[in-house]
Amino acid sequence: MKQFIEIANVTVSYRENIALKNISLNMEEGDFISVIGPNGAGKTTLLTVINGLGKILSGSVKVFGTSLITSNINKIRTKIGYVSQHLNIDPRFPISVREVVKIGRFGKIGLFNHISHKDEEIVDSAMELVGISKLAQRPIGHLSAGEQQKVEIARALAQQPEIMLLDEPTSNLDPKSQTDLIKLIDRIYKEKKLTTVFVTHILSHIPTSCNKVVLMKRGKIIWFGGIKTALNEELLSDLYDCPIEITNKRGRILAQPKWW
Amino acid sequence: MFEILQYKFIQRAILASIFGGASCGIVGVWVIMLRIPFVGVAMSHAAFAGAIFGLLLHINPLMMAILFCLSSALVIGPMADKADFDPNVSIGIVFSMVLGIAFLGMGLIKGPKTEALKFIWGNILTISGKDVILLIIMAFLILLVSIFLFKEIQAVLFNREIASSVGIPQKLIFYFLLFICGLTVTLNLNTIGGLLIFSLIINPPSAAYQLTYNLKVIFGLSAIFGISSCLLGLFFSYIFNVPSGAVIIITSSLIFGLCLIFSPKRKVKKYEST
């Protein structure tokens, strides 16, 4: 398996606050890695380091075997789909769902070039895969939070990425939308086998396709390994600073605070 | 009535209304959708400061106005990004700085300050043929940018972080839009004036924004509203013999008011229980 992402001794600082403390992590092609940890652990910063949106203070990041530098960053980003946390969209913003999904193609098309018929087909198939084709002409600001997240996923898929970065896509959603979205992420992984990094702080949101887990706390990776070994009460209790109980409900392993 | 059209200064004023109004209308869409409405004020005062120092140093005031305006445009974007500010904060900082420089320049000018004050008030009826040519060039440049970089501009206006994440050179586009905005403001100083141009950048796109969810249509409508504001303002100022710049702005505000009242986006769907 090829090393797709190589993070070596990376430190990220937001002035007074050190978000990542000398972390190292390698991810192989086809991995589905969930990054879990409490709020403020540095999970989102870890994602932004991979696509170069976050500025590193020291260390190095290689994606597809290439170091991220100013001259190649835009080219590398065209191969990385990034779904950020809930977007705050003005309901009257003049952009339709289809136009938002099309944005995923713009980096690949390049400056001054127009979108081709083939690009339009890729946009259509991304919307179909995510199940938002019938929303295509609606203004994105008129959709529910769950639908907007699906549009974001379709926009990332329209890039035809080799890596998908998903930053807490289930936050701000109701339970039904959360379940639908997790199932969708699972389905996309099974169909496309994209190297995926999924960030969440809710253990029950980890998709079933996930094969590896990164546990983060206060800017450090405290554990990295297989999903089965990660579901350990002692390890997770230490991560969240509260007693965590692991239960098995109809074959699905759930980890939640003991007092629930 | 129509005999006034034979006068050269009226012909120049009409051309300036068409091309200046269209430029301000299109640039205004960028400004409104990037949520940086005060960029127009900051730029116009930068141009004003530049023009004053041009007069003081006996350098072409228009050239100095352009230089100051473009320098401000090049400071606002990177300052906001480097210092991790909201762009409106860096606009505020640049605005206060250029205002200070303008006042300093005004204090240093000896005698009457009429020449300097014309950059504040502007007068569409006194602009030269050279000014009109510059406005026409500017309008075509903005049109070309809007056509050839439409998809990148649309992505940047929607969300700068998303634009970056898909591989668009977002910062370059953002700074370039600010740069064009500065240039547009400067070239329209003689027409509308530094104080009033802010309204011509804000009102037409805000009016267009009320009417449609299609960005291309918003650009078109905003340009039409900009042109209409200038032409109608020019007409009313002639009829009532009042300052043209002020009437242009009042007209653009009235257009906005009408669009707001009849906005389909503000319609509330009624619920009928069965």
Residue ranges matching CATH 3.40.50.300 in chain A: 1-79+162-260
Query: CB–CB of A62/A75 below 8 Å?
Result: no
Most confident by average pLDDT, A124-133, A235-244, B124-133 = A124-133
In this predicted structure, what is the pLDDT of residue B260?
Answer: 93
Q: pLDDT for A195-246, tens place per residue?
A: 999 998 877 788 888 889 999 999 999 989 888 787 778 888 888 888 888 8
Question: Residue A256 is inside which H or E element, if any?
Answer: strand A252-257
Q: Do the domain assignments include residue B127?
A: yes
Q: Do the domain assignments include residue B181?
A: yes
Q: pLDDT for B59-96, tens place per residue?
A: 888 888 889 988 888 888 888 777 777 788 888 898 99
Domain count, chain B: 1
Q: Do the domain assignments include residue B162?
A: yes
Dihedral sign (CA A232, A237, A240, A246): positive
Query: CB–CB of A97/A132 below 8 Å?
Result: yes
In this predicted structure, what is the pLDDT of residue A176?
Answer: 84
ipTM of the complex: 0.89
**What span, in angstroms and rounded, lies between the C-alpha atoms of A117 and A122?**
9
Does the structure show a pLDDT above 60 at A260?
Answer: no
User: Rounded to the nearest 5 degrees, what angle is found at the Cα of B266, between the Cα atoms of B261 and B267?
Assistant: 100
Q: Which of residues 206-235 of B touch A (CB under 8 A)?
A: 209, 212-215, 217-218
Cβ-defined contact of B215 to A94 (cutoff 8 Å): yes
Cβ-defined contact of A78 to B218 (cutoff 8 Å): no
Of the ranges A148-152, B2-6, B171-175, which one carries the lowest mean pLDDT score? Answer: B2-6
DSSP-assigned letters across all residues of A200-242? ES-GGG--TT--EEEEEETTEEEEEEEHHHH--HHHHHHHHTS
Q: Would you say domain A1-79+162-260 falls under CATH 2.50.20.10?
A: no
Q: Do the domain assignments include residue B271?
A: no
Retrieve residue A195's tokens: 């190297």
Average pLDDT of chain B is 87
Q: Do the domain assignments include residue B268?
A: no
Q: pLDDT for A166-193, tens place per residue?
A: 998 888 778 888 888 888 899 989 988 8
Does the structure show a pLDDT above 70 at A159?
Answer: yes
Query: CB–CB of B106/B116 below 8 Å?
Result: yes
Give A31→chain B minimum CA distance, Å. Answer: 21
In this predicted structure, what is the pLDDT of residue A2?
Answer: 76
**What span, in angstroms and rounded, lies between the C-alpha atoms of B218 and B222?**
6
Task: Say which CATH number the domain at B149 has.
Answer: 1.10.3470.10
Query: CB–CB of A228/A234 below 8 Å?
Result: no
Q: Do the domain assignments include residue B61?
A: yes
Average pLDDT over residues B245-255: 90
Interface of A with B (CB under 8 A): 51, 53, 74-78, 80, 82, 84, 87, 92-96, 99-100, 102-104, 106-109, 111-112, 114-115, 139, 155, 159
Q: pLDDT for B182-227, tens place per residue?
A: 888 888 877 777 767 888 899 999 999 999 999 999 999 999 999 9
Question: Which structural domain range is residue B176 located in?
Answer: 7-261
Q: A94: closest CA among B238, B30, B251?
A: B30
Greater model confidence, A105 or B126: A105
Residues of B in contact with A155 (CB under 8 A): 162, 166
Average pLDDT over residues A25-41: 90
Cβ-defined contact of B167 to A77 (cutoff 8 Å): yes
Cβ-defined contact of A92 to B209 (cutoff 8 Å): yes
